[in-house]
Amino acid sequence: MSNNLVIVESPAKAKTIKKYLGKNYEVIASQGHVRDLPKSKMGVDIENDYEPQYITIRGKGDLVASLKKAAKKADMVYLATDPDREGEAISYHLAIALKLEEGKFKRITFNEITKKAVKESIKNARPIDMDLVNAQQARRVLDRLVGYEISPLLWDKVKRGLSAGRVQSATLKMIVDREEEISRFVPREYWTLDIDLTDESGKKKGTFHYSEELPDEESTDKVINGTNTDGLKVSDVKETSRTRKAPLPFTTSTMQQTASRKLNFTTAKVMRIAQALYESGYITYLRTDSTRISDEADAAAKAYIKEKYGEEFVAEKEAAASNGKKIQDAHEAIRPTDVEETPEKLKAKLSRDEFRLYQLIYTRFLASRMKGAKFLNVQVTVSDGKENFKATTSKIVFKGYLSVYNADDNENEEKNALAEKLAKGDKLKFVSFDKKQHFTAPPAHFTEALLVKTMEENGIGRPSTYAPTISTLQGRRYVIKEDKNLYITDLGEAVNGIMEKAFPEIIDVEFTANMEMLLDSIGDGDIEWKTVIRNFYPDLENQVQKAGKVLENVKIADEVSDTECEECGRMMVIKYGPHGKFLACPGFPECRNTKPYFEKIGVDCPKCGQDIVVKKTKKGRRFYGCISQECDYMSWQKPKNE
């Protein structure tokens, strides 16, 4: 009887796969990468044609030894890491670290962790795809060269602890450019004019809008004074039908955007929860920019829709994305692995946040297999013979996909329904005018969702990099988040200023997007990976040397807190360490006083009257407690003063 070893990344994934395989299979987790470039040095041998110098990751020696031991006992080792470049690279490094012999290991991939998919993958086991490995290796080396060449320059010119990155710095520039666009924006005045009308019996017939935008109050008053309010009647009624297409199933980007808007999740939280759902076998692989769905899943969804909602709700053909960009179509879109596993059935098995995200993924997928929603639009024009006022009513005549999924909370509301019941020639009575002054709004500040959308549109990064890039920018304090909006900090502006002056190519959006396309070409086997590095590095090296000579030092002042140092009386400043913010005395090194930093929420402790602050448990869960060490007040829910 054969003895097989399956190696995956995470213990949760191992547990799920173990359920589907017999006792002839042992399933062990590598807990991610086991080999990487060293942190203490560049780790790329520039003199030896950019050869990467991999080492076993610190702290993983015992794990590698136990994996080696298990591999020696096995007749066949199946490397079952994630089905993307990163997963391919982890499998490659596992094969080297465990010294697996040719013919004694195979690579298996599955887009979903189900019994059928896992067993099918073993039947279709294959060698490691070195083109994908090299694409990941090229990305890793490029990012290492950029980070380890430029970061020391930032330490020297600004302050220690800063970093630059290929995708990170291009994204930072996008945020800076947006902030500058907002600050340069000059609002334009305009006015709108509405008129409220009733029928001759005094029954309200709706609010009608003047047909043109007006430039100023004088023009608005001219329309008001020139309108014959005694001679208003319906001059035209137009009926049109329209169909709102069903949404496409989720990609990584659209899932992050929608979960941010509807569930108020950060991009990092979306990916963390989606990873848990994937590893538990509930959804397909979460890193994808494809909207494709397998024939089998498509048929199962349509059969379910036919049974539950009726034949008339089933989509006749599949919707398709058309953005003209290259799609990495190795994976399907994100969908439930089994359409029969409704959110209601799984609610008891999932945490609250897992349930909410699963419900979003499930309903979006189901909606994508349904017909569009049909609306009847009726536009009514009221005129005095000279001035025109219009109102449009929108009425759903067939709900279609709106039966299960609402992209926007007000999407299926019927609007201004009163105007619908009017006919040409009907006379109307004037009630009142309502004139309003408006100003054009500047471009919106980036939110995490909008930033992901813009990164995708510009080809910056890939599905796996959106959330980590945004987390890094916030972690480095280049941007801060307030009320969902991302704002650039003084530190972020200083770093971007240096990058713009010394490394304009690296932060250029088009250059970064082209580099992503080159990485795709390596993955397709069209370009040798070191060719990309050879063409890139000499220019980078020259720019770094030049920047070191011409750039001036930038001083960024620490943020001053409202806490006085009890040892010397100075006002303490907010510093950042590996575990987040802390307070330190600005008198260092004479005064070395430090203390924890607590974020005040503007609420007094109900027990002792001091400040309530945000705290964290050892496992990182937020709670609210009194700032006083002597007071034991705490709450999981955010307290209020009332």
Burial of 259 (0-12, 13-18, 19+ CB in 10 A): buried
Place of tokens 């591999």: 71
Place of tokens 């994937």: 278
* Strand 4-8 with 76-79, pairing: parallel
The DSSP code sequence of 47-78 is GGTTEE--EEPTT-HHHHHHHHHHHHH-SEEE
**Number of neighbours of residue 435 by Cβ within 10 angstroms:** 16
Chain-centroid distance, C-alpha 626: 34
Report d(CA 19, CA 116) in Å as an integer: 12
Contact 192, 213 (CB under 8 A): yes
The DSSP code sequence of 255-316 is HHHHHHHHH---HHHHHHHHHHHHHTTSB--S--------HHHHHHHHHHHHHHT-GGGB-S
Is 285 one of the catalytic residues?
A: yes
* Strand 25-29 with 4-8, pairing: parallel
Which of 84, 546, 538, 139 shows the shortest CA–CA distance to 329? 84
Which of 531, 433, 495, 415 shows the shortest CA–CA distance to 138? 531
Report d(CA 22, CA 336) in Å as an integer: 25
Helix (H) or strand (E) holding 620: none
Contact 67, 32 (CB under 8 A): no
Q: What is the dihedral of CA 303, 309, 312, 315, to 10 degrees?
A: -50
Contact 471, 458 (CB under 8 A): no
Q: What is the dihedral of CA 405, 410, 414, 419, to 10 degrees?
A: -160
Is the torsion defined by CA of 100, 104, 107, 112 positive or negative?
negative
Backbone angles phi, psi at 373, to 5 degrees: -85, 140
Q: What residues have CB less than 8 Å from 131, skipping those under 6 apart?
A: 522, 523, 524, 525
Place of tokens 């950019």: 50
Catalytic residue among 285, 309, 358, 401: 285
Q: What residues have CB less than 8 Å from 485, skipping those under 6 apart?
A: 445, 446, 447
Which of 142, 141, 182 shows the shortest CA–CA distance to 511? 142
- HSE-CB at 88 with a 13 A cutoff on CA atoms is 17
Residue 290 in tokens: 């494809």
Chain-centroid distance, C-alpha 187: 30
Which amino acid, residue 10?
A: S
Which of 450, 417, 488 shows the shortest CA–CA distance to 207? 417
Residue 461 in tokens: 């990064």
Contact 496, 174 (CB under 8 A): no
Q: Where in the sequence numbering do the catalytic residues fall? A: 285
